[in-house]
Amino acid sequence: MTTPRAQWGSRLGFILAASGSAVGLGNIWKFPYITGENGGGLFVLIYLVCIALIGLPIMMAEIFIGRESQCSPVGAFRSLSKRGSPWILSGWLGVATGLFILSFYAVVAGWSMHYIVLSLANSFDGKSPDDINAMFGDVASSASINVGWHLAFMAITIAIVIGGIKTGIERAARILMPLLFVMLIAMLIRATTTSGFPRAFNFVFGFHNEDLTATGVLEALGHAFFTLSLGMGAMITYGSYLKRNDDLVGVSLAVSVLDTLVALLACLVLFPIVFTHDMEPGSGPGLVFQSMPIAFSQMAGGGIWATIFFVLLFFAALTSAISLLEVVASYFIDERNWPRWTAAVVCGGFIALLGVPSALANGGAALFSSDMAAGPIGKDWMTMLDDLTSQWMLPLGGLFIAMFVAWRVGGAAREKGFKNGTRFSAMYGGWVFLLRYLVPIGVLAVFLNKIGVFAKLGWM
């Protein structure tokens, strides 16, 4: 390659972009509803332990691979092992996972855009809960709304990725992430004034473990991968635009803490509203698009708060989608020498097409929704892709990444790389230990649970 590799403008730029990738629908949409379904408290604690002992070490491993190799995933595994090594398959797995995730992620992000328009038009005002639930049903099952917003969202994502590392991705993160924090804090301050706040606080941080099952524990572990954008090389790719002496431990800590903070704050924004309006915390995926609008319909200035909330959700989704597309596009840029423009448009266009069945999976077309759910697969297209990626592909990718760094990369190079430019050198031994033993055991437990081994043994 003749041109020097693009780099982040600053360490803060990297932290904002990487936490932009991590903070997404996973934090604001998924984490609160799975916390609700698993009864709060203890689930939250277990999630925090999973982030610290499994997520954080893998994040460091990914950034290590990217920063050392200065390559996107496929090239990174090749350059740190050797040509033709089977480890390169992990890079391919990452590209495929990015493609699949973005295809359905963009559909949910599209809903957030549609809900911004509904909020601006004050459409929830004075509506009954039944009306609002029905409204979501209409949105989810409308082919034109879903496909239209999905394509619009993909077009914005492609435009930012075309802009490149410093002037596209980093600039977007520098604008969107601070705005996201301001909106979240504004909503939090408002939430503290509601009557449901103390109950919500207790729900999230108090122990009343009666609802937590062993499956919930494994769900917390699985979610740790998704929420930190781990297991598919997003952090390898972003890490490859760091300088070799940038502090990999410090940035990983910063990104993990920011991501966790946003997930907890999202709970403290959503649950007070849920409790104030006497709703069910365990209502599932509809929490954001049904329970929240119901609450907005009953509150003073609801249209404004609803707009802020859905803009926040849209920004969070956008900075994550950018990283998903960057993983796929950077393969073609680095390995096939495609111009960035071509790579972003071709990959983004392909993902947009691949996303159409997901856009039709909630009633838009029977083939991808009810027919599919009634068939041998037993779920609609979007749920199938979501389950396949977050329950199988990401943990598998994370396992490969951990094993690669723990067992394949030479010890001296690993130690030197880890300690390069960091104040946290003392964490080295613990990092390798976790990658070698705890990560594989944790991921295997998730898989054994998935194929029903624990159930057969009567453990759950």
* Beta carbons within 8 Å of 433's beta carbon, 6+ residues apart: none
SS3 state at 61: helix
Burial class, 201, CB count within 10 angstroms (exposed 0-12 / middle 13-18 / buried 19+): middle
d(CA 451, CA 70): 37
Nearest one of 321, 195, 187, 334 to 265, comparing CA atoms: 187
The CA radius of gyration of the chain, in Å to the nearest whole number, is 21
d(CA 25, CA 28): 5
Using the rule CB under 6 A, is 320 a contact of ligand PFF?
A: yes
Instruction: Provide the minimum distance between the beta carbon of 162 and ligand PFF in the complex, in angstroms, as a whole number.
Output: 19
Which x/- pattern, by CB under 6 A, does the window 241-270 give for ligand PFF?
------------------------------
Helix, strand, coil percent values for the chain (each to nearest 5): 75, 0, 25
Residues 316 and 27 sit within 8 Å (Cβ to Cβ): yes
Distances, alpha carbon 107 to alpha carbons 186, 287, 418, in Å: 27, 17, 38
Using the rule CB under 6 A, is 57 a contact of ligand PFF?
A: no
Binding span for ligand PFF by CB under 6 A among 53-61, 178-186, 227-235, 284-292:
227-235
Using the rule CB under 6 A, is 157 a contact of ligand PFF?
A: no
Query: Which of 162, 324, 344, 352 lies at the binding interface for ligand PFF (CB under 6 A)?
Result: 324
Instruction: Provide the minimum distance between the beta carbon of 229 and ligand PFF in the complex, in angstroms, as a whole number.
Output: 4
Query: Which of 26, 355, 398, 442 lies at the binding interface for ligand PFF (CB under 6 A)?
Result: 26
d(CA 325, CA 297): 36
> Is the Cβ of residue 197 or residue 238 nearer to ligand PFF in the bound state?
238
d(CA 21, CA 316): 8
Using the rule CB under 6 A, is 232 a contact of ligand PFF?
A: yes
Using the rule CB under 6 A, is 234 a contact of ligand PFF?
A: yes
If binding means CB under 6 A, how many residues of this protein chain bind ligand PFF?
Answer: 15
> Is the Cβ of residue 21 or residue 146 nearer to ligand PFF in the bound state?
21
Using the rule CB under 6 A, is 439 a contact of ligand PFF?
A: no
Binding span for ligand PFF by CB under 6 A among 191-199, 316-324, 348-356, 421-429:
316-324
Instruction: Provide the minimum distance between the beta carbon of 230 and ligand PFF in the complex, in angstroms, as a whole number.
Output: 7
Query: Which of 14, 43, 226, 305 lies at the binding interface for ligand PFF (CB under 6 A)?
Result: 226
Which residues contribute to the site for ligand PFF (CB under 6 A)?
21-22, 24-27, 101, 226-227, 229, 232, 234, 320, 323-324
